[in-house]
């Protein structure tokens, strides 16, 4: 059994995008299995007294974030621009990701959803956008969509927010090793991988 590393991500999160696009390759090279854990940042920020992304509260930090991610994306052969309606509502995408991650198309769906948003400038709150992504990766897109909106699946995402509280997650991306060591931010991914090996 390879050591596991949980990858907690939110679709609206710009730094989660950077991690989502590289984590499987980095982890595979190190012999670590990644467990993709979609969640919603909204309730986390609300607990912190915020009604939106913390970047929107501090304009200079928002501008810096954009420049910082553009630099990192360029180094990694990715495109990045702030999408319309930032921060976008990632609710439907997260529900679909929960379904896909139990099948074999989940990670592909996640990466393509991130690209639709941050590379192509589409709005992932739009179900038509998600359906296009879904059609490109899921075997039965209609069944996947239907499964994503059952009460049971909606409850799974809500339950995940309680797990986020319990784990003391305060932002995204967050990486958690099998022993519970927590790392925050794309710039801690390599360190998280090395602790995943150490904590196994």
Query: Which residue ranges make up the site for a second copy (CB under 8 A)?
Result: 48-49, 57-58, 60-61, 63-64, 67-68, 71, 168-171, 182-185, 187-188, 191
Least gap, CB of 188 to a second copy (angstroms): 8
Q: How far is the CB of 56 from a second copy (least distance, A)?
A: 12
Instruction: Please give the helix or strand (H or E) that residue 36 lies within, else none.
Output: strand 33-38
Rank residues 154 and 188 by Cβ distance to a second copy and give the closer one. 188
Q: Which is nearer to a second copy, 126 or 170 (by Cβ)?
A: 170
Q: Long-range pairs for 192-195 at CB < 8 Å and ≥24 separation?
A: 192/5, 193/5, 193/26, 193/27, 193/30, 193/32, 194/30
Rg (CA), the chain: 16
Q: 59 or 151, CB closer to a second copy?
A: 59
Residue 176 Cβ vs a second copy, minimum distance, rounded to whole Å = 11
| Residues 122/126/128/130 CA torsion (nearest 10 deg) | 70
d(CA 146, CA 5): 30
Q: Report the residue number, 105 or 186, with the smaller CB distance to a second copy.
A: 186
SS3 24: helix
Q: Cβ 112 to a second copy, closest distance in Å? A: 28
């Amino acid at each position: 059994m390879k050591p596991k590393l949980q990858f907690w991500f939110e679709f609206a999160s710009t730094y989660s995008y950077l991690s989502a696009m590289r984590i499987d390759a980095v982890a595979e090279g190190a012999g670590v299995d990644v467990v993709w854990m979609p969640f919603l940042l909204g309730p986390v920020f609300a607990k912190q007294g915020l009604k939106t992304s913390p970047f929107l509260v501090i304009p200079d930090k928002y501008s810096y974030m954009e420049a910082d991610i553009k630099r990192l994306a360029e180094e990694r052969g990715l495109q990045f621009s702030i999408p319309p309606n930032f921060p976008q509502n990632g609710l439907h995408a997260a529900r679909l990701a929960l379904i896909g991650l139990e099948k074999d198309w989940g990670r592909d769906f996640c990466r393509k959803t991130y690209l639709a948003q941050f590379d192509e400038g589409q709005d992932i709150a739009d179900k038509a956008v998600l359906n296009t992504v879904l059609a490109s990766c899921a075997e039965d897109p209609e069944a996947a969509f239907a499964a994503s909106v059952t009460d049971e699946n909606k409850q799974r995402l809500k339950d995940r927010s309680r797990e986020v509280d319990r784990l003391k997650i305060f932002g995204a991306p967050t990486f958690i090793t099998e022993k519970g060591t927590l790392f925050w931010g794309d710039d801690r991914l390599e360190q998280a991988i090395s602790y995943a090996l150490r904590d196994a």
